[in-house]
């Protein structure tokens, strides 16, 4: 049953998830629908502009912002949900509500199926924990799904970077790899769950011993 709401919600997966991980897009669509959240998707929007911001191209960011703003107004969108924290941060420059999907799920964690058991680590992405201040929400979602969470050697506001952010991976791949290997060594459990697609792809790329999982992969029945 759909939840009563006066909001018109857009689910926006972001370019990285849309292109590299279509199965994750499908997962989140199923999760939102199963929780009774009415939402739409659209292929009219362009990139949120986050890469332009990171690259120091404010004019290009503004062009994308204005284009996307016109589409969002055309669709009468009042709220945007994204699984990519960079998109959430970019859309906060728009006159709409924008939230990370862990915020959405945390409010409804009593409705999440308990599909998991055992212990796991949660990786705090830099942008999630420092820019969006999201520490409790992803942990609440994972605990509601059945996990016993243990912290990595650094976590919350003190969590070390995985090496993918700030264009480090693009500009200094060897440094980014070293940072990533250090982060992987901080795991205290074999299973590490990530709620940021950029961290997810980078950690998986350099991982050899752990089970790196994106949040949606543990919230849907296989």
Residue pLDDT, tens place only, 19-68: 999 999 999 999 999 999 999 999 999 999 999 988 899 999 999 999 99
The runs of H, that is alpha helices, within 131-193 are 136-144, 168-171, 173-184
Say if strands 119-123 and 191-194 run parallel, antiparallel, or are unpaired.
parallel
Query: How far apart, in whole angstroms, are the C-alpha atoms of residue 52 and residue 12?
Result: 18
Nearest to 99, CA basis, from 17, 10, 1, 168: 10
Here the tokens at position 51 are: 């890469």
- Asked if 9-105 and 115-218 have one fold, the answer is yes
Task: Give the start-to-end residue ranges of the domains of the chain.
Answer: 9-105, 115-218
Contact indicator for 191, 217 with CB cutoff of 8 Å: no
Look up the CATH number of domain 9-105. Answer: 3.40.50
Closest to 172 measured CA to CA, from 84, 180, 56: 180
Average pLDDT over the chain, rounded to whole?
A: 94
- The CATH number assigned to the domain with range 115-218 reads 3.40.50
How confident is residue 222, by pLDDT bands cut at 50, 70 and 90?
Answer: low
What digits encode the pLDDT tens for the residues 68-125?
Answer: 999 999 999 999 999 999 999 999 877 889 999 999 999 998 999 898 889 999 999 9
pLDDT of residue 4: 45
């Amino acid at each position: 049953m759909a939840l009563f709401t006066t909001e018109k919600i857009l689910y926006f997966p972001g370019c990285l998830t849309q292109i590299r991980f279509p199965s994750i897009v499908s997962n989140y669509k199923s999760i939102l629908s199963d929780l009774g959240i009415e939402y739409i998707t659209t292929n009219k929007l362009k990139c949120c502009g986050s890469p332009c911001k990171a690259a120091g191209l404010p004019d290009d960011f503004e062009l994308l912002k204005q284009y996307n703003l016109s589409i969002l107004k055309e669709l009468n969108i009042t709220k945007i949900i994204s699984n990519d924290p960079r998109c959430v941060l970019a859309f906060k420059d728009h006159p709409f509500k924008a939230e990370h999907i862990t915020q959405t799920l945390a409010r409804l964690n009593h409705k999440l199926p308990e599909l998991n058991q055992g212990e796991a680590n949660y990786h705090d992405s830099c942008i999630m924990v420092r820019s969006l201040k999201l520490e409790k929400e992803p942990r609440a979602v994972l605990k509601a799904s059945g996990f016993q969470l243990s912290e990595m050697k650094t976590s919350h506001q003190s969590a070390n970077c995985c090496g993918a952010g700030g264009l480090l991976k693009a500009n200094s791949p060897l440094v980014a790899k070293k940072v990533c290997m250090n982060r992987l060594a901080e795991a205290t459990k074999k299973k590490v769950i990530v709620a940021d697609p950029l961290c997810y792809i980078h950690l998986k790329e350099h991982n050899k011993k752990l089970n790196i999982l994106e949040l949606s992969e543990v919230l849907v029945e296989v």
